[in-house]
Amino acid sequence: MLRTGLFLIFLLLSSVFCLEDSTEEFEEHLSIKSLKDGRVAFSFTFKTLLRDAIPRDPRTLAFDNDDSQHYTLFPLTLGQILRQYAITELHLTLNAGKWNYDAWGYPDEPDVGVGAELRAWMAGDSISSIDDRWQGVRNALAGLFCASLGSLDEQRTTSPRSTFPPEGALPDWGLPHELRHASHASEHVCTENLTPFLKLLPCKSRSGLAMLLNPHRIFDADWHGIGLHVIWRPEGVEVRLSVQLVSDPLRVSGQKKQDWSFSSLFDRKVEKACPIAKSSRVSVELPSSGVYRVYPEPPQVKDGIAHYDLKNANEVWDIGTMWPTDFEYPLSKPNPALVPFSVRRNLLGSTQDRGQLSIVLTNNEQDVLQLLYLETMPWIIQFYLHTIRVHADDALRDDLISNISYILPIPHARPATFETVLTLPGQSTITFTMDVAKAFLRYTEHPPDAQRGWDLPPAIFTPLRQSSHNSTNLGKRVYSPSLLVDLATPDFSMPYNVIIFTCSVVAFIFGSVFNVLTRKFIVVRLEPQKRSESSPSKNLDSDESGKPDTSKSNVH
Amino acid sequence: MRLLSLSFSLFTFILLLSLSQSHASSQHTNNWAVLVCSSRYWFNYRHMANALGMYRTVKRLGIPDSNIILMLADDAACNERNSFAGSVYANPGRHLDLFGENIEVDYRGYEVTVENFLRLLTGRLPPSFPRSKRLLTDSSSNIFIYLTGHGGNEFLKFQDNEEVSAHDIADAFHQMYEGGRYNEIFFMVDTCQANSMYSKFYSPGILATGSSVVGENSYSHENDYDIGVAVIDSYTHYVLEYMEKVNKTSRLTMADLFTSYDVPKIGSHPGVRSDLFDRPLGPEHPMNEYGRGRGWTVEGGGEWVGREMEAEKRGRGLREALITDFFGGVVEVDVDGEGESVLQLFEDFECPPVFKEPTPPPIKTYSPPPPAPVSSTSLFDEYPFLRPSLAFVILGALFAFVFSGVISRRS
């Protein structure tokens, strides 16, 4: 009896411990920063952590018996895509606008390249299996996010060696991991991309911080971007969904004050806390100068950042900042500079068969800066590497460029991958120029709006830092703006013109030859006394004096 | 013996006849919609508004996003020229935002091509295409196909770059028929000379309507001076205005929709083609007058191919074609073949009169939900381990009580 009693007590204890479920966690965080030019930068981060989960080993893809996926908070559609293609790490961003690093500093999420950018780390023992899975994950994400990611085919896919290290850990299966990166700078972002994004959140947009995501205001912002990041950490698989935007309260409100609040910028307030969020926080970075008021009163202010906890919110949250005086636009650049270096990238030249790629880099700091410069140029722009010239203050400096890694473009098949290290002396400006040739496309390769031109993906600059144990660390990435290249377009009406013209000429020649060969011209004598009872047509013929009646000849 | 076999064969013959008759009036079990806007560029805003208006109507009447394929050749809502970001309006007062906050566009931008459209219809897509971009219909699906854009005599322009001809669409529909990919198709097209687009169909089960006869243009309806372009085409505007009267349980027939065409308002002569469609379009009286009322200046009445067959279809006693057969989700599903019992429910339902001037729908203003009542935090929320430990104690006491009772009874 004692043994059965102990067994029952053991059963009860174990059932008690099973009632606590901590395999999935969801956290949300909003970081707000007032920028010097009157704008406000918002960065929403929604993190779902699936504890003790491991990405799928690609060797198990041959067997179809994957573990069944039962999630409560982790999005199932995304989990299915990740496991079907055995993806270890995935980053997808859909951005619109130009991130102004000089005025706004670094963004919270570094991937701010315009358009769609997708990169994935996949393990595999053969290149073909990785490429097949890359195509599969592109199309699956295109269907999930209503974006044309299917067009990120091999003409836009590269594998840069150094610029994109994995953000998380890579499992050690004894298989090499490969990176695939593709970008499409002319991709539009609109509500149809935000709708499935919100459906990946556990609370959707009904409660918590996602209540603020009003598409009419997000897509009106000066810069906006949504991002999906899947990372494997030792704790488990983390899915991080981010929405970043830079709003202009001066434009939205039409007043001269840079006051902003949730209701004025998003037309929404946080009315309900997401009940399953482990933490739901808002951090407002307090401006360092000026007289202002942050409302409601922040319960905690640390290091110049006001923290609000919305987890146990019973009230409606409408966080905002008010200034008593009108806004004065800063007339000088911020000092010290918000970013250590500034980038300007242009395509020079006025012809449609060649041009010059020009990068102007300014080092805002005193120390020498080394930058890793990545260019993933589509094959329509072909580089001439022997024409690379680096000038620092009008003097040719060949020592400022080193470690060139170049993968040749294959026309109609592969873009160019160009990685090099540029050295910037302190407080100087260097100019990197390279001659390029523009391709002449086949008639069928032009997009429907061919006269617009082609968007070129942004170049990526990563500062290199020598750390103490002689290995280089990568700093925060900087994306240059995209370029628009105007390629020679043919006259699209020419095939129609040629067909019409050729057919007309052929018909004319054939018709004339046929007539000459088959028609017989005879002379028809007209009797003068039959004129009174003749047909009207004969009367007409007799008016033309003496001409043979050719219209009657085809009776034969 | 002979009599027995004869009677048996007669019986099977009658049975097959009745079965074939019931097959002709077999109901669909799911609804799909393919809405295509084939024009690009900002000045074709109205074509995107056309397709989005149909999208909203079709969603409101019950077809879910998973069964709608929406193809928009350009981005009007988040276009840099759009002063009202994220919104597409179909009327100058900007009362109703068609884009909304919950929309899924399946094919957008450069993906809207003739090849993709025909592959979508015939189902010949590469295996890499995701599920949301496929037309997963079966032989009991009713499909509503709506095309809008610039067109002409037997062609429709895609993205100002290529054309699809009426022959191509007719062949695609026949491939769908051969493959059992539809039960019935309702084909609506709003372009210039739209009636020529359905003139080449040859597969059974297709009902078609267009906005203008051959040689005639279709016109836009209204401009908005803040958006800066025309916001809706007039044929689609009047069709959508009529559809606002229809709800999920409505018994309005296709005849009601077609006889609501008002030529002086629309500005062109719409047409109907029902010779390939084997069900009657509606009650006798209104449809007889189709094309013969005021404004129909075309010789011989409005274009209706299949007018002569209408009486014969009615004579066969088949079910009339309802608007909700194509525009909405399935409300009554005939599982055991006894559809009559469900129809009994609608005996006393009064259909609205057909010739009444449609009243504009009331403008719905969104009022935010009232704030949730303040809930007090209970003890269980503050100490999360309290609930399981309390359960353990109570269950343990119960078991101990039961066991002690059992033990004492035994001993």
Same domain membership, residue A217 and residue A69: yes
Number of H helices, E strands in chain B: 13, 13
| Chain B CB contacts of A196 below 8 Å | 104
Same domain membership, residue A353 and residue A309: no
pLDDT at residue B320 in the model: 87
The structure tokens 């009036």 sit at B25
Nearest to B328 by CA among B266, B257, B249, B394: B249
> Residue B350 — pLDDT band, cuts 50, 70, 90?
low
Q: Which residues of chain A are modeled with pLDDT < 70?
A: 1, 4-5, 7-22, 313, 467-471, 530-556
Same domain membership, residue A418 and residue A280: no
Query: Could you report the per-residue pLDDT of B373-394, keeping only the tens digit for each?
Result: 555 567 776 777 888 899 999 9
Residue A537 belongs to some domain of the structure: no
Same domain membership, residue A361 and residue A270: no
d(CA A191, CA B367): 22
Residue A510 belongs to some domain of the structure: no
Same domain membership, residue A239 and residue A139: yes
Are the beta carbons of A321 and A292 closer than 8 angstroms?
yes
Residue B25 Cα distances to A13, A290, B316, angstroms: 63, 76, 10
Cβ neighbourhood burial of A537 (10 Å; 0-12, 13-18, 19+): exposed
End-to-end CA distance of chain A: give it in Å, rounded.
124
Same domain membership, residue A303 and residue A248: yes
d(CA A265, CA A270): 13
Residues 6+ apart with CB under 8 A from B245: B252, B352, B358
Q: Is the pLDDT of residue B22 over 50?
A: no
Q: Which of A20, A143, A190 sits opposite B77 (nearest CB)?
A: A190
Residue spans of alpha helices (H) in B156-259: 166-178, 234-243, 254-259
d(CA A354, CA B188): 48
CA–chain centroid gap for A419, Å, is: 20
Are the beta carbons of A139 and B129 closer than 8 angstroms?
yes
For the segment B359-377, the average pLDDT, to the nearest whole number, is: 53
Structure tokens at A113: 């390249």
Same domain membership, residue A191 and residue A237: yes
The residue from A438, A458, A485 where one domain ends is A485
Residues 6+ apart with CB under 8 A from A443: A490, A492, A495
Cβ neighbourhood burial of B250 (10 Å; 0-12, 13-18, 19+): buried
SS3 of B196, please?
helix
Same domain membership, residue A371 and residue A313: no
The residue from A463, A485, A507 where one domain ends is A485
pLDDT at residue B229 in the model: 93
Cβ separation A216–B84 shorter than 8 A:
yes
Are the beta carbons of A246 and A104 closer than 8 angstroms?
yes
pLDDT at residue A556 in the model: 44
- Any idea what DSSP says for residue A147? S
pLDDT at residue B369 in the model: 52
Instruction: Give the residue, B317 or A342, on which the prediction is more confident.
Output: A342
Number of domains, chain A: 2
Number of H helices, E strands in chain A: 10, 28
CB atoms within 10 A of CB A45: 20
CA–chain centroid gap for A455, Å, is: 11
Residue A261 belongs to some domain of the structure: yes
- Any idea what DSSP says for residue A408? -
Query: Could you report the per-residue pLDDT of B183-214, keeping only the tens digit for each?
Result: 999 999 999 999 999 999 999 999 999 999 99
CATH number at residue A405: 2.60.40.1170
Residue A54 belongs to some domain of the structure: yes
- For the entire predicted model, the pTM comes to 0.82
Give the range of the structural domain holding residue A401, as residue numbers without chain letter.
341-485
Question: What's the length of chain A?
Answer: 556
Residue B341 Cα distances to A403, B20, B236, B318, B325, angstroms: 81, 21, 36, 16, 18
Is some CB atom of chain A closer than 8 A to the CB atom of B103? yes
Of B37, B192, B221, B269, catalytic: B192
pLDDT at residue A555 in the model: 46
| Chain A CB contacts of B377 below 8 Å | 312
d(CA B34, CA A85): 30
Same domain membership, residue A204 and residue A102: yes
CA–chain centroid gap for A242, Å, is: 14
Is some CB atom of chain A closer than 8 A to the CB atom of B75? yes
- Percentage above 70 pLDDT, chain A: 90
| Chain B CB contacts of A12 below 8 Å | 392, 395-396, 399
The residue from A275, A291, A322 where one domain ends is A322
CA angle A282-A283-A287, nearest 5°? 140
pLDDT at residue B7 in the model: 62
CB atoms within 10 A of CB B256: 25
Same domain membership, residue A400 and residue A254: no
Are the beta carbons of B66 and B334 closer than 8 angstroms?
no
CB atoms within 10 A of CB A154: 16
Put residue B337 in one of left, alpha, beta given phi > 0 → left and psi -120 to 50 → alpha.
left
Residue A494 belongs to some domain of the structure: no
Interface of B with A in 240-269 (CB under 8 A): none
Helix (H) or strand (E) holding A515: helix A494-518
| Chain A CB contacts of B375 below 8 Å | 314
pLDDT at residue B343 in the model: 59
Best of B68, B96, B102, B133 to substitute, by most chain A Cβ atoms within 10 angstroms, is: B102
Are the beta carbons of A383 and A377 closer than 8 angstroms?
yes
The structure tokens 């091509």 sit at B113
DSSP-assigned beta bridge partners for residue A483: A456
ω into A330 cis (within 30 of 0): no
The structure tokens 């430990």 sit at B389
Query: Could you report the per-residue pLDDT of B101-156, keeping only the tens digit for each?
Result: 999 999 999 999 999 999 999 999 998 899 999 999 999 999 999 999 999 999 99
Question: Does residue B269 have an active-site annotation?
Answer: no
d(CA A457, CA A166): 21
pLDDT at residue A370 in the model: 94
Same domain membership, residue A347 and residue A277: no
Residue A11 belongs to some domain of the structure: no
pLDDT at residue A542 in the model: 45
d(CA B236, CA B90): 10
Are the beta carbons of A212 and A245 closer than 8 angstroms?
no
Residue A477 belongs to some domain of the structure: yes
Cβ separation A215–B101 shorter than 8 A:
yes
Cβ separation A448–B132 shorter than 8 A:
no
| Chain B CB contacts of A217 below 8 Å | 85-86
Residue A553 belongs to some domain of the structure: no
Nearest to A450 by CA among B200, B241, B162: B162
- B121 phi and psi angles, rounded to 5 deg: -65, -45
Question: Does residue B78 have an active-site annotation?
Answer: no
Same domain membership, residue A385 and residue A290: no
pLDDT at residue B336 in the model: 57
Query: Could you report the per-residue pLDDT of B41-74, keeping only the tens digit for each?
Result: 999 999 999 999 999 999 999 999 999 999 999 9
Instruction: Give the residue, B52 or B19, on which the prediction is more confident.
Output: B52
Q: What is the pLDDT of chain B when averaged over all its residues?
A: 84
pLDDT at residue B241 in the model: 94
pLDDT at residue A538 in the model: 46
Residues 6+ apart with CB under 8 A from A518: none
Residue B28 Cα distances to B24, B56, B202, angstroms: 11, 22, 21
Cβ neighbourhood burial of A363 (10 Å; 0-12, 13-18, 19+): buried
Structure tokens at B380: 């269980």
SS3 of B122, please?
helix
Q: Which of B85, B102, B377 sits opposite A216 (nearest CB)?
A: B85
pLDDT at residue A8 in the model: 66
